[in-house]
Amino acid sequence: FSLCRSMDMGRNETYVTMFILLGFSDQPDLQIILFVIFLVLYLMTVAWNLVLIILIRSDSHLHSPMYFFLSFLAFIDICYSSAITPKMLSDFFHEEKTISFLGCATQYFFMALMGLTECLLLTIMAYDRYVAICSPLRYPTIMDLQVCKKMVAGAYIGGFFSSLIETVAGFHHHFCGPNIINHFFCDVPQIMALSCSNTFIGQIMLLVMVVLVGFFSFPIIIMSYGYITVTVLKMPSAKGRMKAFNTCASHLTVVTLFYGTAFVVYFQSGSGHSPNVDKMLSVFYVILIPMLNPQIYSLRNKEIKDALKRLVKKDISP
């Protein structure tokens, strides 16, 4: 097949219609091992997040705003990993790992959609914890079901338009030369580096999205936990302080992993890192974190453990 097509409008011009992903390794034995590892991780991601969603939806003890948001976080993690991992797994069986221009843009759009929506949802969950701990008497009124639904809808709408802008910013350029991406998925920094046109406007658009979504949501999370910390430290009971901190520990761990890894991948990428190091960091961000999130929320959460026990007993009871 041809990777470039000619346009005969009075001049010879070519543009890229396909990209080649280099993936991880061209050694057959190593590719088999990596395929098995990533397949297991992906299946675990889907299974654990599905179990968490089923638990929250089926157990009335978990019908609260915190778990309502958590079920959508689990759904986002499934979709986020699924936007990249199946294509990556299939590429292990192809000598030349190609992806069409449209397929590349589509893959990035859905990856960015889920990543940006998760960013906004984590901010909403931080606000939920702030209201629960700092204004417990007003919590049922402020965080009623209709408000929670509107918040989740707002996160998805914000993620959709932000992702659309980022995708347009990264893919509206002319691509007429190299088409090799030294990665296992389509990411805007690598795509824009291949453009043969001026990418300044696209870079500005991407920067604006980072500021609006990332730098807007992260300070809200920091402020929420600042107020939470002050409120908890004023509690007279040590048991009460411990219980309050425990309700926030899982979310704070997920936020630290999400933002910490995102910072390393997108702000340190290309500055002293080899492409292989960037790929390993992306594996953590794209595959491992969606798998770890349901475990982080489950291991220290007594209500989820109890709900799982009730579900198991219900299944094995005659």
Per-residue pLDDT of the chain (318 residues; tens, 9 = 90+): 334 444 444 444 457 889 999 888 777 778 889 999 999 999 999 999 999 999 999 988 899 999 999 999 999 999 999 999 999 999 998 888 999 999 999 999 999 999 999 999 999 999 999 999 999 999 999 999 999 999 999 999 999 999 999 999 999 888 887 899 999 999 888 899 899 888 888 889 988 888 888 778 989 999 999 999 999 988 888 887 888 888 888 899 999 998 888 777 766 554 555 677 778 888 888 899 999 999 998 877 888 888 888 877 776 655
Q: How far apart are CA 223 and CA 235, in angstroms?
A: 19
Cα dist from 122 to 91, 117, 199, 258, 300, whole Å: 32, 9, 31, 9, 18
CB 99 within 8 A of CB 19: yes
pLDDT at position 6:
43
pLDDT at position 315:
61
Residues in contact with 27: Cβ distance below 8 Å, sequence separation at least 6, in sequence order: none
User: Residue with structure tokens 């089923």?
Assistant: 54
Token readout for 313 is 């007993």
CB 67 within 8 A of CB 56: yes
Q: Mean pLDDT score of the chain, rounded to an integer?
A: 86
> Which string of DSSP letters, residue by residue, matches the chain?
--SEEEEESSSEEEEE-EEEE--S-S-HHHHHHHHHHHHHHHHHHHHHHHHHHHHHHH-GGG-SHHHHHHHHHHHHHHHHHHTTHHHHHHHTT-SSEEEEHHHHHHHHHHHHHHHHHHHHHHHHHHHHHHHHHHSTTTHHHHT-HHHHHHHHHHHHHHHHHHHHHHHHHHHSS---S--EESSSS--HHHHHHT-SS--HHHHHHHHHHIIIIIHHHHHHHHHHHHHHHHHHHT-S-HHHHHHHHHHHHHHHHHHHHHHHHHHHHHHSTTSS--HHHHHHHHHIIIIIHHHHHHHHHHHT-HHHHHHHHHHHHHHH--
CB 99 within 8 A of CB 186: yes
pLDDT at position 268:
59
pLDDT at position 12:
44
CATH superfamily of the domain spanning 21-316? Rhodopsin 7-helix transmembrane proteins (1.20.1070.10)
pLDDT tens track for 101-119: 999 999 999 999 999 999 9
Q: How far apart are CA 281 and CA 161, in angstroms?
A: 26
Domain spans, the chain: 21-316
Q: How far apart are CA 56 and CA 238, in angstroms?
A: 29
CB 120 within 8 A of CB 158: yes
The structure's pTM equals 0.90
